[in-house]
Structure 1
Amino acid sequence: MFSDPATLEILKHCPSLRPYSGRGMYGQQCPALAVDDVPSGIQELFESAREHLSADQALDGLQGLVADFRTDALGYRSVMYWPQMDWSDLEPQEEEAA
């Protein structure tokens, strides 16, 4: 659902991106933003999209990210995360030896 290139490109360029494994995820890691509050996380997503994608690509990528995220408290901060995505989708793929 969210492994489209525009979505991954937006997340990849967010400075607060980190892996996250929340309650009920049984160790599986997903992409997350560790932010002061949800509005600052939304702003970070929009800034990343604006800087790295065309307007059409940005709209496509942001639509799913903004519509379907979860939040948890992280001390005095918040974490916005996407449990339906896998953290490995954002890691660089190792090239096979020739």
Structure 2
Amino acid sequence: MRLVILGGPGAGKGTQAQQLCSNLSIPLLAVGDILREAIAEDTDLGKLAVSYVERGELVPDATMIQFGVKLIVKSWINLVFTPVLIPLNPP
């Protein structure tokens, strides 16, 4: 299942998405969370976006697309390369 939740700032997109994902047992992929994380960690993408965010402006599409790609790759890696625990001393 794929859901896209759209709305203005403060409309409750994140709150609704968390509840839906919890109830439906589906992963939550939030580009806004990746954006805030990148700004907090002072990454290259975060540095590109921070001036727009501080002015309350929309981050340009080209920059957001880069965040989206990062999010998709990160999610794909987490889904594909789930760690498998192998006992070091099998019985």
TM above 0.5: no
Structure 1 length as normaliser, TM-score? 0.26
Larger RCO: 1 or 2 (CA < 8 Å, sep 6+): 1
Larger Rg: 2
Q: If the length of structure 2 is used for normalisation, what is the TM-score?
A: 0.28
